[in-house]
Structure 1
Amino acid sequence: MPILKTLATYRFSRYYKIVFLVCDIFLLNVAIALSFWFRYGDLYLEYFRGDKAVSLLLNVFWIMLLLYKDSYRIIRTEPIEAILYRTIRLLMIQIAVVAIFINVMKYEEVSRLRMVFFYATFFVLLVSFRILFMKFLKFIRSRGYNFRKVVIVGANAMGERMNRILSKDLTYGYRVMGFFDDTVDSAEVKDPVLGTFEDVEPYLAKNKIDEMYVALHISQLEIINKLTALCERYMVRIRYIPDFQQYTKANRVEVAFYGNGNIPVLMLRKEPLELSLNRILKRLFDIGFSIVVIVLVFSWLFPIVFLAIKLNSSGPIFFAQKRSGRNNESFYCLKFRTMYVNDQADALQATQNDSRITKVGAFLRKTSLDEFPQFINVLMGNMTVVGPRPHMLSHTEHYSELIDNFLVRHYAKPGITGWAQVNGYRGETKELADMEGRVEYDIWYIENWSFLLDMKIIWKTVMNIFQGEKNAF
């Protein structure tokens, strides 16, 4: 495959910007033409003066948006959701600017319906192109092309963590050749150790290396400076992995620059939902989604479940339990009752083959139908559709003593489903490690929230319901 090999060399990455630009403008004009077809039945593009002006603005302003900041940024380990999120954000900006332009210029002849057709078509074309482009890059990398050779200086826990990230998926396009260090942490490092600090320069002289990741403590500043000079001499791009663990155990931190960008300030973690716009977006979705579920599903599901529970056991239909919410404030979480009435419900988790669970309750738990009343909690505002699962108050008190960052998960509203649940951390927590894993996933969600991530979690939740979950009991 000589053509593919030529296109898929490392240098291909340098030209993807122009590929994006050309393809985006092509797709934009295709969407303009199709919007006329959908609205008027043909591709004649010169109906009115306003249409010409708006079409020109669409092209010019989209080019400006693409050239602005990091609109073209593609990190090899970046999930497709992040790329799509940036694209949708740009699209929303353009919609707002074009709408203002049409109203200010009083282009009444511009069909609003045609503009709806245009943006719907452009959105589909853009998303399809982004996904296909990423799949193309993954394909050529999986065939051994378009990869970068990497060495890691620092055979320690941080270096091994970076190694796992870069080596997690071959389609990322990284080949970790090995480690350099004077002292090797054999309990952490699995890949080959290529030598000591003194062996770095001879290795770079003999081998073509694209990137070096430095995972050394700041106390080794002299060595870091030497490595920087070596990388500049041998044209190797150097990446520093700062040891933030000396400040915090957070997996993700944010650096702000104060004083005209001269002073970097480290902040504990980035929380996208601290932005008012994101909170509004999430709340609007919660309200709309919960209303749809309550009207279309809960309205007919409730009488069926009502009869089933009543015929199977005595007691109330709903089980309302105090649980820990946002900022660790308690609220009553609603569920369909799945157990016989008992005195241990507020202290003891359900276990496999739990004798307290009724036959109807076992079915409700297995299919997650017992959670449907929580859409009422969502509508009331004390829960969200997607977020960390709420725990019993006794469990919050217990685990907050055992896990240092346990309460961080309460920075967000609790959800009906969550990132931890779709990754296997659902149901009983038999071991402390089970809860630690759940907390790790919950904190990752808080630090990496996006609307597309919520959609992904909802989709995986629905798939898990139909496929069945072994931890649902």
Structure 2
Amino acid sequence: MVDLLIINICAYLLPINLLEVLLFHGYISLAWISIAIATKFYVIYRYTKVTHILKLLFRQFFFYFLVVYAFIGFFKQPNMSRLALAQYVIYIFIAISTLKFLSYYLLMKYRERVKGNIRNVVVIGKNKKTQQLINVFNARSEFGYHFVKQFCPKEKNFDIRDCFSYIVQRNIDEVYCSVSELNNNEISQFINFADNNLKTLKFLPDNKNIFAKKLKFEYYDYLPILSLRDIPLHNPINAFIKRSFDVLFSIFIIFGILIWLGPILAILISLESRGPIFFVQKRSGLDNREFQCFKFRSMAMNPNADKMQAGKNDMRVTSIGKFLRKTSIDELPQFYNVLFGNMSVVGPRPHMLKHTDEYASKVDKYMVRHFVKPGITGLAQVRGYRGEIEKDSDIQNRIKFDIFYIENWSFLLDMKIIVQTVLTVFQGDEKAY
């Protein structure tokens, strides 16, 4: 957002002789975002080198320079000053480069001196590779990794359950495993543990068999690290796109629908049963943090609202509530959650705290769904897995679709899910009760 502000302010202040001012500003903003997505300009990690940032800057501005100059020919602007345009590109290159390196430097110093933005890590294995990694963690404090403990699987008293307990109790963020010191069963246990406890798991590639898998390469200094799961929404550009859409879409729904539909429903709900208009319930959100989820109240007041899902022919559901639930109108207040940042328009559906505790212990990889914000609708819901969970396969299939969504997110996938959700509302869903 700051970069977009810079490129637009400079374009406004410099004497470029623009005839189509709004067109040019829209053009350069769209061009900047499109090129940034293509070049991964904003994908910078705590261990990213300065040389890589320089490469990103030159790549971004090379294509941006070409696109900006192409504006003259595309839109027939013979009066535009070529010299002022060149000055414009140079000025924004200096401004954005300075800002980028300044923020990079300050963040490094913040981690190094203030000890903020720190990730607690443990290392599994004791060999030359793991010692090199520990040395990197200790020597490069600006990376923001706090090395806590090393476990040696080859020791006789090593117990993987003690290792897991330690990681949970000490609030460890990331686990680095030396693959050569773990057998297949132990690797599987670490993978399942990391998925079910929201821990980032990475491997040191000291076993040739690991290269047969589709993994992500990263470099800490000059040491290669393999990452097991790559989540698209952890990319800042993807997260920015999704959040921007969430804000715009939620504002459209709130001011286009809720502003007039809300008072009507409030009257109807109040006439049928006593109680508040909104039903507010604690749900599990991003990183398993609790948040208050809003809905239009569709049930009579009852003590089991936080313990038991609505079932078919549920006596607690009111007459107006049946209509609200059948049409999914009861979910509309969740667009306030989206605007506040607790939820997204599309994502895994948030569960009650009771169900999160229950399923976390009995459904494998259940906690993976909390790596992203929960959604008003999701892939599992448009594939028929919504509403009451009647058998184990319901929640298992729901989690499979949630994990697929998390690992394969795209903006087009979100659009497809939204369209399918709207169609389902009009066509009706037999599990909407």
What is the TM-score when the length of structure 1 is the normalising length?
0.49
Alpha-carbon distance in 1 for matches of 2:79, 2:215 = 44
Alpha-carbon distance in 1 for matches of 2:220, 2:377 = 42
Q: Which residue of 2 aligns with 1:389?
A: 349
Q: Which residue of 2 aligns with 1:8?
A: none
Alpha-carbon distance in 1 for matches of 2:384, 2:61 = 37
Q: How does 1:391-406 map to 2 (within 5 A)?
A: 391-406=351-366
State the Cα distance separating 1:300 from its structure 2 match. 1.5
SS of 1:333's partner is strand
State the Cα distance separating 1:253 from its structure 2 match. 5.3
Over 3 Å counting, the alpha-carbon distance change for 1:366 and 1:111 in structure 2 is farther
Over 3 Å counting, the alpha-carbon distance change for 1:379 and 1:260 in structure 2 is closer
Alpha-carbon distance in 2 for matches of 1:110, 1:363 = 61
The structure 1 residue matched to 2:69, chosen from 101, 104, 107, is 101
> Is the CA contact 2:216–2:230 (under 8 Å) kept in the aligned structure 1?
no
Q: Which residue of 2 aligns with 1:303?
A: 263
Q: How does 1:292-441 map to 2 (within 5 A)?
A: 292-441=252-401
Over 3 Å counting, the alpha-carbon distance change for 1:253 and 1:381 in structure 2 is farther
> Is the CA contact 2:368–2:403 (under 8 Å) kept in the aligned structure 1?
yes
State the Cα distance separating 1:425 from its structure 2 match. 0.6
> Is the CA contact 1:318–1:337 (under 8 Å) kept in the aligned structure 2?
yes
Alpha-carbon distance in 1 for matches of 2:290, 2:364 = 20
State the Cα distance separating 1:260 from its structure 2 match. 12
Q: How does 1:118-267 map to 2 (within 5 A)?
A: 248=191, 254-256=215-217, 266-267=226-227
SS of 2:313's partner is coil
User: What amino acid does structure 2 have at the position aligned with 1:280?
Assistant: F
State the Cα distance separating 1:266 from its structure 2 match. 3.9
Q: Which residue of 1 aligns with 2:8?
A: none
SS of 1:408's partner is helix
Alpha-carbon distance in 2 for matches of 1:326, 1:285 = 18
Over 3 Å counting, the alpha-carbon distance change for 1:375 and 1:259 in structure 2 is closer
User: What amino acid does structure 1 have at the position aligned with 2:342?
Assistant: N
SS of 1:357's partner is coil
Q: Deviations over 1:411-456 (max 9, x none)?
A: 0001000011011110000112111111111011000001111000
Alpha-carbon distance in 2 for matches of 1:433, 1:283 = 32
- Seq. identity, %: 48
Cα RMSD of the aligned pairs, angstroms, is 3.4
Alpha-carbon distance in 2 for matches of 1:93, 1:402 = 51
State the Cα distance separating 1:339 from its structure 2 match. 0.3
Over 3 Å counting, the alpha-carbon distance change for 1:301 and 1:346 in structure 2 is same
What is the TM-score when the length of structure 2 is the normalising length?
0.53
Alpha-carbon distance in 2 for matches of 1:354, 1:406 = 27
> Is the CA contact 1:318–1:336 (under 8 Å) kept in the aligned structure 2?
yes
Q: Which residue of 1 aligns with 2:236?
A: 276
Q: Does 1:444 align with 2:404?
A: yes
Q: Deviations over 1:204-224 (max 9, x none)?
A: xxxxxxxxxxxxxxxxxxxxx
> Is the CA contact 1:323–1:330 (under 8 Å) kept in the aligned structure 2?
yes
State the Cα distance separating 1:103 from its structure 2 match. 7.6
Alpha-carbon distance in 1 for matches of 2:265, 2:425 = 17
> Is the CA contact 1:253–1:269 (under 8 Å) kept in the aligned structure 2?
no
SS of 1:100's partner is helix
Alpha-carbon distance in 2 for matches of 1:463, 1:94 = 44
Alpha-carbon distance in 2 for matches of 1:111, 1:320 = 60
Q: Which residue of 1 aligns with 2:112?
A: none
SS of 2:345's partner is strand
> Is the CA contact 1:253–1:270 (under 8 Å) kept in the aligned structure 2?
no
How many equivalent pairs are there?
253
User: What amino acid does structure 2 have at the position aligned with 1:400?
Assistant: A
Q: Deviations over 1:132-169 (max 9, x none)?
A: xxxxxxxxxxxxxxxxxxxxxxxxxxxxxxxxxxxxxx
SS of 1:339's partner is coil
Over 3 Å counting, the alpha-carbon distance change for 1:100 and 1:439 in structure 2 is same
Alpha-carbon distance in 2 for matches of 1:97, 1:278 = 24
> Is the CA contact 1:420–1:441 (under 8 Å) kept in the aligned structure 2?
yes
State the Cα distance separating 1:308 from its structure 2 match. 1.3
SS of 1:269's partner is coil
Alpha-carbon distance in 1 for matches of 2:287, 2:359 = 16
State the Cα distance separating 1:312 from its structure 2 match. 1.3
Alpha-carbon distance in 2 for matches of 1:248, 1:409 = 15
> Is the CA contact 2:251–2:339 (under 8 Å) kept in the aligned structure 1?
yes
State the Cα distance separating 1:110 from its structure 2 match. 5.8
State the Cα distance separating 1:258 from its structure 2 match. 5.3
State the Cα distance separating 1:257 from its structure 2 match. 6.4
Could you tell me which runs of 5 or more consecutive residues in structure 2 were left unpaired when the two chains were aligned: 1-34, 40-59, 81-186, 196-212
> Is the CA contact 1:387–1:419 (under 8 Å) kept in the aligned structure 2?
yes
Over 3 Å counting, the alpha-carbon distance change for 1:95 and 1:342 in structure 2 is farther
State the Cα distance separating 1:104 from its structure 2 match. 10
State the Cα distance separating 1:357 from its structure 2 match. 0.4
> Is the CA contact 1:318–1:334 (under 8 Å) kept in the aligned structure 2?
yes
Could you tell me which runs of 5 or more consecutive residues in structure 1 were left unpaired when the two chains were aligned: 1-64, 70-91, 113-243
State the Cα distance separating 1:404 from its structure 2 match. 2.7
Alpha-carbon distance in 1 for matches of 2:419, 2:61 = 27
Q: Which residue of 2 aligns with 1:466?
A: 426
SS of 2:293's partner is strand
Alpha-carbon distance in 1 for matches of 2:325, 2:282 = 19
User: What amino acid does structure 1 have at the position aligned with 2:215?
Assistant: E
Over 3 Å counting, the alpha-carbon distance change for 1:93 and 1:287 in structure 2 is farther
State the Cα distance separating 1:96 from its structure 2 match. 4.5
Q: How does 1:49-128 map to 2 (within 5 A)?
A: 96-102=64-70, 109=77
Over 3 Å counting, the alpha-carbon distance change for 1:468 and 1:246 in structure 2 is same
User: What amino acid does structure 2 have at the position aligned with 1:466?
Assistant: F
Over 3 Å counting, the alpha-carbon distance change for 1:97 and 1:355 in structure 2 is farther
Alpha-carbon distance in 2 for matches of 1:420, 1:94 = 42
> Is the CA contact 1:253–1:266 (under 8 Å) kept in the aligned structure 2?
no
